Structure 1
Amino acid sequence: MHRGISARRGEDSSVTLEIGANWAGNLAYRSVRIEEPATVAEVQDLIAGATSVRPLGTRHSFNAIADSAELLISTARLTAPPVIDAGRRTVTVGAGIRYGDLATQLQKAGWALANLASLPHISVGGAIATGTHGSGNNVGSLASAVAGLELVTATGTVLQLQRGDADFDGAVVSLGAFGVVTSVTLDIEETFTIEQSVYELLPWASLEAHFDRITGAAYSVSLFTTWRNPDVFDQVWLKRRPDQDAAAPADLFGAIPATGERHPLPGISAVNCTPQLGVAGAWLDRLAHFKLAFTPSNGDELQSEFLVPRAHAVAALAAVRSLADRISPLLQVCEVRTMKADSLWLSPASETDAVGIHFTWLPRQAEVEALLPEIEAALAPFNARPHWGKLFTPDAALLDRLFPRLADFQALAARLDPERTFVNTFLASTVLPER
């Protein structure tokens, strides 16, 4: 049987709407029920008769994308063990499995994923639905590795889609608009080794002049800054594949190797971070920034991210830099990452190589939300797309311009969910407004 999570009740015995919260604690879900089915049949049973449903992953979204007026269906127990197809070089898993858990099982079998996000704690289904990514000039977002998926629609139909199917590119970065994804098939490759090195104090002038060479210096590269000193980027993390990349440089365009392990946030112990100092290790122990065995923070943060076409990267970063004095008092750290273009309709990297400018904020939501329009205005000339699971200003007209396939996405939603069972307030204000 599926597992239900009861709503808390107040002194007057009326059901309160705060029966759960997201990981950061900045959002209380309005739903009166959260259920945790373990099988496809249980998902079908829950959807039957419901008028407002949303899928819920590991709760790492900072906005109301996963909220519902009635029912949340958690994928936490949809964790069917990996089924590896060595001939096709794919693995099929339950949508609720966390990337770190999947990675551990793949490594034991001699296989790997091409990339991981900074946190291995997020679920496969939730990450791909929101366009979450790692970093690497020649590596796509996590969603780009999807070769197939299974979902239960609002009618209870089990829909199977494979790469190449007519609706596939619209259904991967789905924002949960078409149903509950129950399993996912991902591309895999043979296991590989990563060496991670951190460099410090990269001059802004070097970033301006050599952005492509810096982000291409390793298989995966992340840059961090607090913007407190706009003339430098505080850290550059190089994640090298010895079988593909040149040796780690002694000097990275003026940035120097760190003398010890570093946390992305200044002054924080690196004990929870993945190993550095160029020590070789398996891909799953280096591609993420944080270890699976540890909680990387207490959730006392907010996040935003805007992704621009790679051609605009330096100009977009200069625009953010011009707001350094406004940003830095609210900021914990800003991270810059790259990714290869894909063909997924609502992917932030759809049809363009992209650069993500990510903000980890202090938990001061009113002030952050007041500042976001300034950042969005500064990035508007560069066609900046939001990360779907972070804080941004909803603007349906703007999103219609930023995503050329949005009309196709809307048509697919109308066909798969004509009664708008999976449309919540967030979707109605962004990609699926009432017509």
Structure 2
Amino acid sequence: MRNWAGNVVYSSDDLRSPHTVDELQELVASSPQVRATGTRHSFSDVVDTSGVLVSTAALDLAVEVDATTGVAWVPAASTYAQVAPVLDRAGWALHNMGSLPHISVGGACATGTHGSGVRNGCLASGVVGVELVTGTGELVTGRPGDPDFPGMVLALGSLGVATRLALRLEPTYPVRQEVVLDVPITSAVDHVAEILGAAHSVSLFLSFRDPAVVDSVWLKHRGATASEPGLLWGGRRAEAAVHPIVGFPADAATDQLGTSGPWHERLPHFRPSFTPSAGDEIQSELFVPLDRAAEVLSAVAARSARIAPALQVMEIRTVAADDMWLSPFHDRATLAVHATWVSDPRLVAPALAELEQVLMPFGPRPHWAKHFTRFDRDWAESAYPRLPDFRALAQRLDPDRRFVNDFVVRLGLR
């Protein structure tokens, strides 16, 4: 068995799909090693185990909306593409979505997956309840106010198997998306704070085919009648729909050109009915302090000649700070530097090494579910001040270390 991209071969092909929570509890309690798997969109070995891989997709669980509290309990195995239309039809929305709606809610929240926006937290920041089958087979529920809750949601699957998550809702809203093309790098550096704050969600895409320009800036405005930007930062407004990767057909991308539509049809970059992104790829992502954005963009552009040979596209986004113990955005407003590489590991290795080296002076944290190489136990100790609290929580919920795998040991998380 492999992950979605095929770059990770799992150590086990023992995949179980219990049909009830009771069956899941019995399975966990009787398995020396177990990890949950969802849509397999992780590019690291965060999910891997030599024991049992368990999917909760067969559990008889449904989306339950509580209009009184503005909360929806959703199956952890469900994808955002499945959940979002249900919420929208009931008059509700989420604060943000990732670029791909194809990913599972549980997996995305457990690994720190995010959308964009200087005021928007990662997807896990919208979770107000989590239901877990722990290492003892017990079903527990964590909620805000519980002392351990900041460690329970974004936990890399190493505390238990999530069955359901409660998501904070807000009234549904429309979004308009427009794209600005060919912004000079010098202008993007000079105006980076203005650009990143110009809409509810903003993404910069760079391929470095022309190292002097940002290929496109995607602006997602909340509301049906967003104000037109007075400045295009030296670029030009797109007059036809585009794909984030230059030259790819735009059919897979969500509607642009300023047409208003439901939040869940504009906040992602890709439609759920199409193969997301390039399809044949490896992904990496590193998170650095937002207040260093201009320096980071300049540094990456200056070394682009060594990065570009393996690069399909780089995306620059923002994520608000949060208080979750293992969050890459813990206590830090963040600039996200995402690379979609070609699928050849031989080309990717030197390019990724270059990108990690360029960003190392800025104190990067990697996306737990993306491909990275330079980070280890010593780094985790310094980067995550609440790591001792997480380890103590893990010892209580998983005393027999059923959910421990090579990934969390290598990084000193367990």
Under a length normalisation based on structure 2, what TM-score does the superposition of the two structures give? 0.97
Letter in 2 for 1:361: W
Q: Deviations over 1:348-392 (max 9, x none)?
A: 111111110000000011332343333222212211110000001
Contact in 2 for aligned 1:251/1:257 (Cα 8 Å): no
What does residue 23 of structure 2 align with? 42
* Equivalent in the alignment of 2:62: 81
Question: 2:389 — aligned with what?
Answer: 408
RMSD: 1.5
2:254 maps to: 274
Question: Could you tell me which of 133, 153, 159 is aligned with 2:140?
Answer: 159
Aligned equivalents of 1:369, 1:167: Cα separation in 2: 38
Q: How does 1:242-391 map to 2 (within 5 A)?
A: 242=223, 246-249=226-229, 251-297=231-277, 299-391=279-371
Out of 302-311 and 69-78, give the one that drifted further: 69-78
CA apart distance, 1:190: 0.7
1:64 equivalent in structure 2: 45
Q: For 1:271, what is the secondary structure of its paired residue?
A: helix
Q: Secondary structure at the match of 1:41?
A: helix
How many residue pairs get matched? Answer: 413
Distance in 1 (CA, whole Å) between partners of 2:398 and 2:348 is 34
Deviation at 1:170, TM superposition (A): 0.7
Q: Is there any run of 5+ residues in structure 1 with no aligned partner, and where?
A: 1-19
> Is residue 101 of structure 1 aligned with residue 82 of structure 2?
yes
Within the candidate set 15, 31, 36, 1:55 is matched to: 36
Residue in 2 aligned with 1:170?
151
Task: Give the aligned partner of residue 124 of structure 2.
Answer: 143
> 1:338 touches 1:355 (CA, 8 Å); kept in 2?
yes
Distance, in Å, in 2 between the alignment partners of 1:395 and 1:181 is 26
2:257 alignment partner AA: L
Do 2:307 and 2:352's aligned partners in 1 also have CA atoms closer than 8 Å?
A: no
CA contact (8 A) 2:179 2:257 kept: yes
1:43-93: CA deviations, max 9, x gaps?
A: 112112211111101000011111110100113224622111112111001
Matched residue, 2:222: 241
> Is contact 1:79–1:97 with CA below 8 Å preserved after alignment?
no
Amino acid at match of 2:148: D
8 Å CA contact retained: 1:95, 1:181: yes
After TM superposition, the structure 1 stretch with the greater mean CA deviation from structure 2, 417-426 or 353-362, is 417-426
Deviation at 1:298, TM superposition (A): 6.3
Secondary structure of 2:49 counterpart: coil
Contact 2:79 2:102 in 1 (8 A): yes
Q: Which runs of 5+ in 2 are unaligned?
A: none
Letter in 2 for 1:276: Q
Secondary structure, in 3 states, of the residue corresponding to 2:147? Answer: coil
CA contact (8 A) 1:78 1:95 kept: no
1:210 matched residue in structure 2: 191
Q: Distance in 1 between matches of 2:245 and 2:161?
A: 36
Quickly say closer, same or farther: Cα 1:78–1:431, change in 2 above 3 A.
farther
CA distance in 2, matches of 1:308, 1:378: 11
Which one-letter code corresponds to 2:14 in the other structure?
A: R
**Secondary structure in structure 2 of the residue aligned to 1:58:** coil
| Contact map agreement 1:152 1:179 (CA 8 A) in 2 | yes
Question: What's the CA shift string for 1:243-272, capped at 9, x where partnerless?
Answer: 6x8512264211210110000011111101
190-199 or 37-46: bigger deviation: 37-46
Q: For residues 367 and 222 of structure 1, what CA distance do their matches in structure 2 show?
A: 25
Q: Which amino acid aligns with 2:157?
A: G
Aligned to 1:431: 412
Q: Indicate the larger mover: 416-425 or 284-293.
A: 416-425
Say if 2:223 is the partner of 1:223. Answer: no
| Residue equivalent to 1:9 | none
- Return closer, same or farther for 1:259/1:302 CA change in 2, 3 Å cut-off: same
Query: The residue matched to 1:65 in structure 2 has which SS?
Result: coil
Counting aligned pairs with the same residue, the percent is 47
Give the aligned residue type for 2:120: V
Would the aligned equivalents of 2:115 and 2:319 in 1 still touch at CA under 8 Å? yes
Q: Is the 8 A contact 1:250 1:257 kept in 2?
A: no
Q: Distance in 2 between matches of 1:90 and 1:161?
A: 14
Question: Is the Cα contact below 8 Å between 1:25 and 1:299 reproduced in 2?
Answer: no
Q: 1: CA distance between counterparts of 2:35 and 2:349? A: 24
Paired position in structure 1 for 2:175: 194
Q: What SS class does the counterpart of residue 48 from structure 1 fall into?
A: helix
**Shift in alpha-carbon separation, 1:313–1:163, aligned structure 2, 3 A:** same
**SS of the residue 2:335 aligns to:** strand
Return 275-284 or 413-422, whichever deviates more.
Answer: 413-422
